[in-house]
Structure 1
Amino acid sequence: MLSLETIITFFSASFLLALIPGPDNIFVLTQSIFQGKKSGLIIVLGLCTGLIFHTLAVSLGVAVIFQTSIIAFTILKIVGAFYLLYLAWQIFHASSEKIDIKNNITIDYKKLYYRGIIMNITNPKVSIFFLAFLPQFTNANLGFVSFQMILLGGLFIVATILVFSSIALLSGTLSNIFNKSKNSQMILNKLASFIFVVLAMKLAITKQ
């Protein structure tokens, strides 16, 4: 069993890392402003479900493939980049009509959840990050290293949920301001689309 000191140190580090601006928390920020805080929270659940995949990948050694195989790494990042461009295209051509957040009529939460999962899974850098980060806090003398990494991955997910949910709740309040104006909604659509294009380009040029 991991020591309390290790758990506290790891959780604190994970919390701080989740605060660093990156594709995932920017994704939460834009979606929360665009469609409200509930949508942002659903995205958070999707992203964190994706983190379960990365945790298991590292624990089972699958992440090594992305670290050692240029082909596997390139394929996954290209898929991720094209998916971000697809999201950008959808938002850019979205209707400029105001979204009824109160009644949640126009929002497909299941689709948002799956979108968060795909967004996270198709970023090979997450698996490689986990591969480099989690083992630093394991202790081979305790045995069951894979189980230790699963436990650490779970703690990282908890820290991520706390940080990303806070982002969703705080930025979600801004959506009410934007939804009062048709013009501001159009501007927000274009801005969100631009952000996703930038994220796609950044992922596409990411090196192994």
Structure 2
Amino acid sequence: MPSLDTLLAFLGISVLITLAPGPDNLMVIGQSLAHGRRAGLAFGLGCAAGCVTHIAWATLGVAAVVRTSPGLFLGLKLAGAAWLLWLGIQALRSGGTLAPASGMPKHPWQRDLARGFVANALNPKVALFFLAFLPQFSDPAQGSLTLQMLALGLVFIAQTIVIFGSLALAAGSIGGLLSRHPQLGPWIDRLCGLLFVGLALRLAADD
């Protein structure tokens, strides 16, 4: 298992990485603003669950295969971009109804959970990030590299849940205030839609 010093260093860097503006935390904020904190929390949990697949890939070495196969990498990237684009189009076509003041969404939270999971799991750059990141904090002298990487992955997921949850709660509170002004609903959904479309184009265009 990694030493305590290693775990603390890994945790500190992971928090900074998760807080940096990126697709996942921006989408969590957007969902909370448009549909309430429960939607944002569910989406954030879905993103964290998506990290499980990337950690498993990195641990098993599958991500290395993706990195050395340009065709497979491109296919996964385009699939992820298409999914984000679809979410953006759905938001742009929405009726613009904000979540009620209580913060309860008008659609099942399971849908937001699944959306977050797919959006994260279909991003091959996240897999390659874990492939490059986890081994830097693993030491063969400390025992099984597989167990060390799994432990580090669990630490990363735990802090992701805390940070995404905090972002969802904060944005959801703002969304609750906005819900008292229904005329802002279409603009919030359009903003979220443009955010998803922009992230899709960014993912598709990135090398």
TM-score interval for Structure 1 and Structure 2 normalised by the shorter chain: over 0.9
Taking structure 1 as reference, are residues 98 and 157 closer, same or farther at Cα in structure 2, changes over 3 Å only?
closer
Greater CA deviation, 107-116 or 176-185?
A: 176-185
| Cα distance in structure 2, aligned partners of 1:180 and 1:60 | 49
How far apart are 1:177 and its partner, in Å?
2.2
What is the DSSP-based 3-state SS (H/G/I as helix, E as strand, rest coil) of the residue aligned with 1:111? Answer: helix
**How is 1:114-193 mapped onto 2 (pairs within 5 angstroms)?**
114-193=114-193
- Give, in angstroms, the shift of residue 10 of structure 1: 0.5
Matched, 1:27 2:27: yes
| TM superposition shift of 1:164 | 1.1
Measured after TM superposition, the shift of residue 97 of structure 1 is 3.3
Q: Aligned equivalents of 2:23 and 2:66: distance in 1?
A: 19
- Gaps spanning 5+ residues in structure 1: where? none
Identity %: 36
Which range moved further: 127-136 or 139-148?
139-148
- Alpha carbons of structure 1 residues 125 and 41: separation in structure 2 relative to 1, 3 Å: same
Corresponding letter in the other structure for 1:90: Q
Quote how far apart the aligned CAs of 1:105 are. 6.1
TM-score (norm 1): 0.95
Q: What is the rounded CA distance, in whole Å, between the counterparts of 2:99 and 2:170 in structure 1?
A: 18
Unaligned runs of 5+ in 2: none
1:140-196 Cα deviation digits (max 9, x unpaired): 122310111010000011111121111111111111122122221111111111111
Question: Does 2:74 match 1:74?
Answer: yes
Bigger shift: 102-111 or 190-199? Answer: 102-111
Whether the 8 Å CA contact 1:35–1:101 is kept in 2: the answer is no
Partner SS, residue 11 of structure 1: helix
Deviations 1:12-46 (A, max 9, x none): 11111111000000010100111111111111111
Q: CA RMSD in A?
A: 1.3
Contact 2:35 2:106 (C-alpha < 8 Å) held by counterparts:
no
**C-alpha distance in 2 between matches for 1:188 and 1:113:** 20
Q: 2:44 touches 2:165 (CA, 8 Å); kept in 1?
A: yes
Q: Does the 8 Å contact 2:103/2:172 carry over to 1?
A: no
Q: Which residue of 2 aligns with 1:54?
A: 54
